[in-house]
Structure formats: structure tokens, C-alpha cells
Structure 1
Amino acid sequence: MTDHHLKATCETVHFGGFSAQIPPALTVRSGDRVTVETFSGLPVYQQAPPAFLPPAFLEICENLAPERRVAAGPHLLTGPIYVTGAEPGEVLEIRLETVRPLLPVGFTLTSPGKGGLPDRFDQEKLEFIPIDLAAGRIEFPTGSGIKLPLKPFFGTLGVATAARDRNSIPPGDYGGNIDNRLLQPPCRLFLPVFLPGARFSIGDGHSLQGDGEVCLTALETSMEGTFELLRRADLGHLPLPLAETADAWITMGFAETLDAAFESALTRMVDFLEKVLSLNPEDAYMLCSLGVHFHITQAVNAPMKGVHGILPKEILPGSIQL
């Protein structure tokens, strides 16, 4: 295993989406560990307080080359990272080890026509929120006495596809803007590989978020994380994307309606139970009704909504080895 450190610079980030045309920011071997720096908030940087704008981030905001602005999404991503030997049809396993906010401030935003109540709020509101890094919490609204503990994770983890300019907003089977708050270390995320090298990018740091991400954003934060990347040629039979946390297995569904996203997440959980526990389809379906929990992941990343199914490890007869 080799340890790599990937800083966010004008040469190692891309903005707005994923593209097969962006040259790799880093090349690693399967099993290598990467510590990565990510910045968030490029679209709002001109309104941000100084604490939100370290020099490296300001340099990116003001000087990122046009060819690294690949689509119309709002996310600044670090990567892509090329995994030597990874081929289409294989699986990329991302083992998240640590995630930590980099700055003592983050932001949340609501915008007319967007979010879970697109017709109710007709004024944009951008709120920069102090983060108490030492205590691991925020107070919001300021002065309210409402204290929220930090639970940091990366909102966007995805691989490139053949598309030249895939917008970073909608998630899909390639991962991308998943916004699943349960993907907190230690955890594993499994994504299908579409292109040689997988071309993995990461960013969109969230210091905390509720299921649904209903106003449009989480507490958006610049973030540092450490993870291992492994190519897996033995997992192509599994329903992907798939995740494992300390206490659960998680299937995910993405579609233009919550009904369809739920159906996808449920179908994938049934398939997962068939494949890894050798249950027949009817028993797997009934087990989902008795012991699996389905949550709205996010309802705001138009046009795709997300639902995830949570299979608690505590109900299983033993550990599942992948």
C-alpha cells in the first residue's frame, strides 16, 4: 500500500460535473490510501466571510481553467483518481476511513423553485454558519439554543462514464451526488466501473444533513478525507451502488420520482438478500417488510430523487464477507 496526499488546486479539481475527458489528477494502485482535500462553495464565494476562503480555495475560484469547468452543476470535486487496472464491468470499492471539516464555517442555501417546497419560498437565502470544531457542533439559528452535532460525510462520490459533461447534481448508478448521510467512516461504498481506471472524484463535504436534504443543501463545508481504493473483479453480480457501514448494509435507488426510487432500492435489497444470504425471492421480500428500513436520501437533486434501504447487521446470523 502507498499513501498519497491529493491537495485541491487548479490542476486537481473540476467543477460542475464529471467528464471522461478530464485527465487524472492522481494515479494509484488498487489498495492504495489517499488523503484528499476538497473545497465547497465556489458559486457563493464572493458572498463568503474570510474564514470560508483559504488562499488555495480563492485561487481555484478565481483562476480555474475553462476546460475544468465541465458542466452546469454547483459542485467542486477533487480528482479524477485513476486506479491502475480497473476495467469496465469491475467494481470500485471505496473504504472511507476518516472525514473532517477543514474550516470553522459552512453554509446552507435555499432558492426559489428548488428544494422540497419549490413553490413556497420565493426569496433566495444564503446563510453562513459558524462551526464549533472543538465541540463538534453548530448552533442554528444563531442564538436559538438549538445545538446540532456534526456528522461529516462526503455528499458526492462518483466515477466517470462515457459522458463528456455529466452534470454533478443528479446521482445515479455511477454514484455522484448521493447525499447519503449514513456514509460516515468507517464505511465502504461499492460503485460500478464504466471506464478504464474508474476515474473516481470526490467532494461536496457535508458537516451535517438530515434525511431528505429538504431545503436544497446540507451544511456545506470544505473537507479532508482519507480512503482506500480497491478494484474488485469478483463483485459484478451485486446490485450497485451498495454500501456497508459499521452497523448496516445499504442499497440505493435513484429515479425521477420517490416511488420509483423506492422501488429501485427495494428491488436491490431483495436481490442483495438473495445473492448474499441465499434467500428465496419471497422470503427476501418479506424480510424487507419485517426488518429493513427505507429512508428518503434526498428529494432535491433534480431530476433524480434518492431512497436507501437499511439492513441492520444485528438481525443477521453472521457477518457478510465481501
Structure 2
Amino acid sequence: MAHHILKANRDTVHLGGFSHQLKPVLTIHSGDSIDVETYTGFYVYDKAPPAFLTPEFIEICQHLPQERKVNSGPHLLTGPIYITNAQPGDVLEVNLEAISPRLPVGFNAIYPNKGALPKYFSEQKVQFIPLDLKEKIAEFPLGSGIKIPLKPFFGILGVATAENRSSVPPGNYGGNIDNKELQAGSRIFLPIFVPGALFSIGDGHSAQGDGEVDLTAIETSMNGRIKITLRTDLKLTTPIAETPTDIITMGFGQTLDAAFESALQQMIELLKRFVGLSAQEAYVLCSLAVNFHITQVVNLPQKGVHGMLSKAMLPKAITNCKLLSRC
């Protein structure tokens, strides 16, 4: 098992989406770990304060090669990373070991015709928000005394598919999930669709409310340490995640009803497969003890809902061995 360092520069990032045609920037083996850099704010860098800019980021924004511009999405992603022996039908386990802002400022953006209330907030507004990295808070509005705890995570964790995809909507390949629960100490499990998986990461957020209602969180260039493991013993059709306290299923749909139904069905299937419950027992348990949250409502055309199952309720034999782990 090796450890790698993946810097973010014009040769290692790509813009706007996922593509199986992109040349990998790093090849690793299952079990390897990576210190990875990410940048955000490609389309607002010319409005940014000096603290938001680095020479590498300016170079990316001004001279990103055309072949690294994949689709119309606004997100800069680091990757793709090729995992040796990964094949369609396998599962990629991404352990998020450490996540931290790499710059002391992030931004929030409202754009016309986007967000949850486009008719009421139609004026473009980009605001840069200082981050107190020592105290791990952001004050907003500045001078208000309102202090937001920094809880950094990567909004985008995804693999390539046979079709080129925008970085905006999430899907069964992962992508722009924007799930604030996926902080350091969590794992996400992604179905693989193309040889090598071609995993990319980015869209760092320092803080976000469930829903991400105005379109963005505190968008932040981010550092992370991840460990990637190839799981040939798992078969999944949609992403599943695990935090230190919960198992998470994720549903995506063009309406919140559809996204909720998908997240619920995924939780029922998980409880049937890994816990041994019948479908009806699982359905009842979801009503009694599983918490469903709105993940995001702005990454059109896909909205997101996630279900959270507390691991504390489950027998230790299941959480220590069967549930998403190797025995």
C-alpha cells in the first residue's frame, strides 16, 4: 500500500463534469492513500480577494487546457484517478480520513433563475466569506455576531460512466451529492461503471445547511486525505455512505417525493441484505427509527434526500462485520 500526493494544477484538474475519455492524472492500487488538493471558484476568480487566490489557481483559471474542460458545470475537480483492476460491477470505497480548508476564505453565490426561490431572489450576488481556521467558524453576515461552525466536506465524489456528464446533478455514479454528513471519518461506496473507475473529487464546502437552498454553500478550496479500496465483495447500484454514527442511503429524483422514495427503497434493501430483515420489517423500522433529510434542492434536474440509520441500534455483530465491512 502506497501513499500519494496529488497537487491541484492545470494538468491535474478538470472542469464541468465527468468523462471516461479523460486521461488519468494518477494510477493507484487498492488500499493506497492520497493527499489531494482541490480548488473551487473557476468562474468567480476575477472577483476574488487576494486570500482566495494562489498562483496555481490563477494559472488554472487563465490557462486550463481545452481538453480538461469536460462539460458545462461550474465545478473544478481533481482527477480522474485510475484504480488498478477496478472493473464495472465492482464498488469503490473512499475513506475520507481528513478534510480541511486550504485557504482562509470561501464564497457563496446566488445566480438568476437558480436556487430554491428563483422568483424572489433573481439578482446575481457573489459574497466572499472569511474563515477563522483557528476557531473553526465563519461569521455571517460580517459584524452580525452570527457564528457558523465550520464542518468541511467534499460536495463532489464521483466516478466516470460511459456517458460524459455535467458536474451539476448527482446520480448513481455519485457526483454532486452535496451531503454535509460526509465529513472526515466517513466512507462512501460508489458503484463502478468503467475500467479503472476514474474517480474525481472537489467542490469543497466549509459549511452548508441541508437543502443548500440559495444554490451554494461556503464554497472552499479544500485539502483532503483519502484512502481508496476496491471492493469486489459488494454489489451496489447507488451510492451508500457510513459515518462514525450512521449508515446513509441516498436517493435522487427530479422531485423531492421521487428522491425520498428512492432513499427509502435503498434503506429497505440495505436492511434486507445486511441485517436480514424482511421487506415489511425494514419498512416498519424505517418509520420507527430512520431519519430522512433533504440533501439538496438546487442541483437540477436531480434533487437529493438521504436516510440515516443509527448504528447504535444494530447488533455489534452486524456493525463490526457484516455491514459494509469485510469479515
For this structure pair, what is the TM-score category when the shorter chain's length is used for normalisation?
over 0.9
The residue number in structure 2 matching 1:68 is 68
The 8 Å contact of residues 239 and 272 in structure 1, kept in 2 or not, is answered as no
Query: Is 2:16 the partner of 1:16?
Result: yes
For structure 2, list consecutive stretches of 5 or more residues without a partner in the other structure.
none
Instruction: Give the % identical residues.
Output: 60
> Structure 1: how far apart are the matches of 2:56 and 2:268?
46
Query: Is 2:145 the partner of 1:148?
Result: no
Shift of 1:302: 0.6
Q: How does 1:76-91 map to 2 (within 5 A)?
A: 76-91=76-91
The 8 Å contact of residues 112 and 121 in structure 1, kept in 2 or not, is answered as yes
Query: Is 2:164 the partner of 1:180?
Result: no
Query: Is 2:286 the partner of 1:288?
Result: yes
- TM-score with structure 1 length normalisation? 0.98
> Structure 2: how far apart are the matches of 1:71 and 1:206?
21
The residue number in structure 2 matching 1:244 is 242
The count of aligned residue pairs is 320
> Structure 1: how far apart are the matches of 2:205 and 2:233?
32
The 8 Å contact of residues 31 and 229 in structure 2, kept in 1 or not, is answered as yes
Q: How does 1:87-236 map to 2 (within 5 A)?
A: 87-163=87-163, 165-236=164-235
Shift of 1:240: 2.5
1:56-85, Cα deviation, whole Å (9 max, x unpaired):
111101110111001000000000000000
The residue number in structure 2 matching 1:2 is 2
> Structure 2: how far apart are the matches of 1:51 and 1:58?
12
1:231-288, Cα deviation, whole Å (9 max, x unpaired):
111101x453100000000000011110000000000000000000100110000000
List, as ranges, runs of 4+ consecutive aligned residues in structure 1 with deviation greater than 4 Å. Answer: none
The 8 Å contact of residues 92 and 230 in structure 1, kept in 2 or not, is answered as yes
The residue number in structure 2 matching 1:297 is 295
The 8 Å contact of residues 101 and 220 in structure 2, kept in 1 or not, is answered as yes
For residue 94 of structure 1, what is the amino acid of its counterpart? Answer: V
Shift of 1:112: 1.7
For residue 69 of structure 1, what is the amino acid of its counterpart? Answer: K
The 8 Å contact of residues 191 and 237 in structure 2, kept in 1 or not, is answered as no
Shift of 1:295: 0.3
- SS of 2:98's partner is strand
> Structure 2: how far apart are the matches of 1:99 and 1:60?
22
Shift of 1:141: 0.3
For residue 154 of structure 1, what is the amino acid of its counterpart? Answer: F
The 8 Å contact of residues 172 and 237 in structure 2, kept in 1 or not, is answered as no
The residue number in structure 1 matching 2:254 is 256
The 8 Å contact of residues 239 and 271 in structure 1, kept in 2 or not, is answered as no
